[in-house]
């Protein structure tokens, strides 16, 4: 449990570091700032385009719900290492043991 929390904390830290780096790039690069300003202005001036997009998103969401499990099953069918990881996660790792055959004559 502690490892999961530590891993989650490190993931949050790395995301935060990436966000800080992106903001610093935005502040230092005037071309990037102008591009972001232009995109924000275009998005604010076209609210009806957002409404049309919502209708399409509902259709896309339904397709995604249908296709995501199929894509996962396809990936499992094709990739042996992925299939092994999933089975290990579901049922636990396979026990390893050494087999020594019985001595000659002993049954």
What angle (nearest 5°) sits at the alpha carbon of residue 99, between those of residues 97 and 105?
Answer: 155
Task: Write down the pLDDT at residue 48.
Answer: 61
Question: What confidence tier does 106 reach under pLDDT thresholds 50, 70, 90?
Answer: low
Q: Is the pLDDT of residue 36 over 80?
A: no
Q: With 0.85 as the threshold, say if the pTM is over it.
A: no
For 38-78, how does the pLDDT look when each residue is reduced to its tens digit (9 = 90+)?
877 777 777 665 556 666 677 788 888 888 888 988 888 88
CA distance 23 to 32: 11
Dihedral angle over CA of 34, 40, 45, 48, nearest 10: 140
Cβ-contact 88, 94 below 8 angstroms:
yes
Domain residue spans of the chain: 8-45, 51-90
Which stretches does DSSP call E strand in the chain?
A: none
Task: Write down the pLDDT at residue 26.
Answer: 73
């Amino acid at each position: 449990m502690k490892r999961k929390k530590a891993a989650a904390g490190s993931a949050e830290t790395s995301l935060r570091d990436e966000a800080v780096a992106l903001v610093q790039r935005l502040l230092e690069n005037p071309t990037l700032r102008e591009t972001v300003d232009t995109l924000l202005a275009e998005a604010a001036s076209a609210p009806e385009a957002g409404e049309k997009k919502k209708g399409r998103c509902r259709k896309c969401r339904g397709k995604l719900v249908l296709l995501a499990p199929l894509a996962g099953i396809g990936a499992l069918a094709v990739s042996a290492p992925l299939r092994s990881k999933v089975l290990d996660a579901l049922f636990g790792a396979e026990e390893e043991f050494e087999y020594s055959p019985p001595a000659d004559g002993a049954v």
